Amino acid sequence: MQAEQISIFLENKAGRLSEVTGILAKAKVNIRALALADTSDFGVLRLIVDNNAVAEQALKENGFTVRKTKVVAVEVDDRPGGLFNILEILKNAQINVEYMYAFIRQSGDKAVMVFRFDQSDEAITVLTENKITVINGKDLYKL
Amino acid sequence: MIYNIEYETMPREALESIQLKRLQATLSRVYATVPFYRKQFTSAGILPGDISKLNDMQSLPFTTKKDLRDNYPFGMFAVPMDNVVRIHASSGTTGQPTVVGYTARDINTWSELMARALVAGGATRGDIIHNAYGYGLFTGGLGVHYGAEKLGASVIPVSGGNTKRQVIIMKDFKPTILTATPSYSLHLAEAAEEMGFSFADFHFRYGIFGAEPWSEDMRQEIERKLNLTAIDIYGLSEVIGPGVSIECHEAKQGLHIFEDHFIPEIIDPDTGKVLPYGETGELVITSITKEAFPVIRYRTRDITTLNPEPCICGRTHVRMKKVSGRSDDMLIIRGVNVFPSQIESVLMQIEGVEPHYQLIVEREDNLDVLTVMVEVSENMFSDEVKQLQQFENKISKDIKEYLGVTAKVKLVEPKSIARSEGKAARVIDKRKI
């Protein structure tokens, strides 16, 4: 049920993000979701794309340090309290969220959030038990 | 003022005859007592008795820092440990530090040389010396301390650090001579200013600065900010510690080498050929009075020039120019010697780290700042920022622990460190020295 995300190490300097997106454009890889964590010196760019293998290869060929990480994509009701509901379930199960970010979706009444947990399997179990939809990787890349 | 008029102003001819006698005695002694030197002389086909004039010493092999390390810890000592009363060591390393020993007479010699140096630098019996060189394995603190006591001045053994307290002491005890590394002296000036004091209200006359390279520009800045006359002192633990040479405050034109105890030579660092006076090259020193740890033709790696012209102060000892650089890649960071290879071995001990690194040295607020850029390898790259930061902290902590210097660590992208002919430029020194 887990999805795969690509993480890229970036120095904090002008033009690096544009370079990454340029490489992906050339490789005809579509970015579906993106989050950037940064410190004063460096950042970690996290991407959900429609083709991980092509993206990874293109980035590595251009000298980037790339790593694939497992994440969990979860459907969230697109209404006030939708995200709160999910986080409460996780809190009660004492599952820690390392980070999360939103996924772009063009239509529908559900939003999608991408989570990184310290215990992914437990998170998936508890979310499923609480009737929260976890989207598997293949479906996610096509959304 | 001259502390030891007889020896410091001795006519060259008499001085050279004393040098030869002392050199011959030292050579015979090390040949008999230090297996390393016996082997060196034998493989060069020389016996101590072959040296019948000073120039003959040019045929003796050099001694390098590596030789000292290879004989760690006491292999180069020329006396039994019974006779050794003091041990110092160079800044800690991941490999082997160089360890030096002193007999009671060596300590006395060193004290005399430091007393001479302090006097050349403007000190008298009546002065109060604020000694901010570090006390410990480093020779700076104790070297100045013993010299000050020998001279009969009052010494405040304040050592390094605890800057605010130092400022209070400077205000209350009214010291008249400051001994410190040049960068720390500027740090003191700033700290004083932040605390609402000015060196103009303090009582310093002279500052005697060494243990790291500093430029003429920095001298002017120190003199302006600290309201004193800044004097350059030179030395290295392998030879004796501080007190190998010193500028006289009368001329401030080059550092007199105490030639009745040391024989200096300048060589071409590439060929080892001895260069005549006036030419720039690497300083090589032979100690001719030390008992526990004599060095024969020790390559200091410091680049300078020797000037034999008579000096207005009356000393006849040759003067070396302010050291202008190194013939190896050693860096001096806040008085601590650092070789890039030492940083490299620290990095190599951390799992996942590859030896793609670069050292950037800058001077910020007058203090040396070392930044270690490390390329992020796939093995160490984690998706989580906190893990990457843990890497940075670990590297920084290990460098501090093994080398005794504080380093900022900055993770950079792979291949981002410029390489020339496939080899990375390891050091970028942006300090103006």
pLDDT tens profile A14-32? 888 999 999 999 999 999 8
Which among B262, B160, B166, B249 has a CA at the least distance from the CA of B211? B160
- Is residue B422 very low, low, confident or very high in pLDDT (cuts 50, 70, 90)? very low
- Chain-centre distance for alpha carbon B88: 13
Residue B297 reports pLDDT greater than 80: yes
Q: For residue A42, list chain B residues with Cβ-Cβ distance below 8 A.
A: 376, 388, 410-412
Alpha helices in B365-431 (DSSP H): 385-403
- Euclidean distance between the first and final Cα of chain B, in Å? 30
pLDDT tens profile B198-241? 999 999 999 999 988 788 888 998 999 999 999 999 999 999 99
Report d(CA A127, CA A75) in Å as an integer: 10
- For B243, half-sphere exposure in the C-beta direction (CA atoms, 13 angstrom radius) is 30
Q: Residue A104: give its domain's CATH number.
A: 3.30.70.260
Token pair for B18: 């004393």
Q: Which residue among B376, B385, B414 places its CB closest to the CB of A37?
A: B385
Quote the crossing angle between the two packed helices B104-120 and B139-151, to the nearest 10°.
80
Query: Among the three residues A37, A69, A101, which one is the final residue of a domain in this structure?
Result: A69
Do A78 and A138 fall within a single domain?
yes
Do A9 and A40 fall within a single domain?
yes
- What's the CATH superfamily of B5-328? ANL, N-terminal domain (3.40.50.12780)
Contacts of B263 (CB under 8 A, 6+ apart): B19, B23, B54, B57, B285, B286, B288
Supply the pLDDT for residue B73. Answer: 93
Count helices and strands in chain A by DSSP H and E runs: 5, 7
Contact (CB, 8 A) for A136 and A48: no
Which residues of chain A from 60 to 119 reach within 8 Å of chain B, CB to CB?
Answer: 63-67, 69, 98-99, 116
Which among B370, B368, B414 has a CA at the least distance from the CA of B395? B370
Question: Which CATH architecture does the domain made up of B333-429 adopt?
Answer: 2-Layer Sandwich (3.30)
Report d(CA A14, CA A20) in Å as an integer: 12
Do A31 and A13 fall within a single domain?
yes
- Is residue B145 very low, low, confident or very high in pLDDT (cuts 50, 70, 90)? very high
Do A19 and A82 fall within a single domain?
no
Do A108 and A51 fall within a single domain?
no
Do A82 and A65 fall within a single domain?
no
Q: Is A2 on the interface with B (CB under 8 A)?
A: no
Label the pairing between strands B427-429 and B357-364.
parallel
Residue B43's Cβ-count burial label (10 Å; 0-12, 13-18, 19+) is: exposed
Which residues of chain A from 33 to 52 reach within 8 Å of chain B, CB to CB?
Answer: 37-39, 41-42, 44, 46
Q: Where are the domains of chain B?
A: 5-328, 333-429
d(CA A46, nearest CA chain B) in Å: 8
Q: Quick check: helix, strand or coil at residue A112?
A: strand
pLDDT tens profile B243-273? 999 999 999 999 999 999 999 999 999 999 9
Among A101-110, B273-282, B408-417, which is the least confidently predicted range?
Answer: A101-110
- Is residue B363 very low, low, confident or very high in pLDDT (cuts 50, 70, 90)? confident
Q: Provide the domain limits for residue A81.
A: 71-142
Do A58 and A76 fall within a single domain?
no
Alpha helices in A1-143 (DSSP H): 16-26, 52-61, 82-92, 120-129, 137-142
Nearest chain A residue to B373, by CA: A41
Do A91 and A56 fall within a single domain?
no
Q: How many domains does chain A have?
A: 2
> Does A42 contact B383 at a Cβ distance shorter than 8 Å?
no
Q: What rounded mean pLDDT belongs to chain A?
A: 90
Q: Quick check: helix, strand or coil at residue B94?
A: coil
Rounded (10°) CA dihedral B300, B302, B304, B308: -20
Query: Among the three residues A69, A89, A108, which one is the final residue of a domain in this structure?
Result: A69
Question: Can you spell out the DSSP letters for B177-221?
Answer: EEEE-HHHHHHHHHHHHHTT--GGGS---EEEE-SS---HHHHHH
Q: 3-class secondary structure for B123-156?
A: CCCCCEEEECCCCCCCHHHHHHHHHHHHHCCEEE
- The CA-atom distances, in angstroms, between B83 and each of B102, B106, B145 are 8, 10, 22
Residue B95 reports pLDDT greater than 60: no
Residue B240 is given by DSSP the state T
Supply the pLDDT for residue B384. Answer: 84
Supply the pLDDT for residue B216. Answer: 85
Of the residues A65, A69, A116, A117, the best mutation for testing chain B's interface (the one with the most B CB atoms within 10 Å of its CB) is A65
Which among B236, B220, B417, B429 has a CA at the least distance from the CA of B323? B236
Q: For residue A37, list chain B residues with Cβ-Cβ distance below 8 A.
A: 385
Q: Which residue among A5, A42, A46 places its CB closest to the CB of B411?
A: A42
Nearest chain B residue to A41, by CA: B410
pLDDT tens profile B106-123? 999 999 999 999 999 999
Query: Among the three residues A69, A102, A120, which one is the final residue of a domain in this structure?
Result: A69
Amino acid at residue number B172: D
> Does B384 contact A42 at a Cβ distance shorter than 8 Å?
no
Question: Can you spell out the DSSP letters for B277-303?
Answer: TT-EEEEEEEESS-SSS--SSEEEEEE
Supply the pLDDT for residue B198. Answer: 94
Q: Quick check: helix, strand or coil at residue B82?
A: helix
Residue B94 reports pLDDT greater than 50: no
d(CA B389, nearest CA chain A) in Å: 9
Residue B323 is given by DSSP the state P
Average pLDDT in the B379-383 region? 83
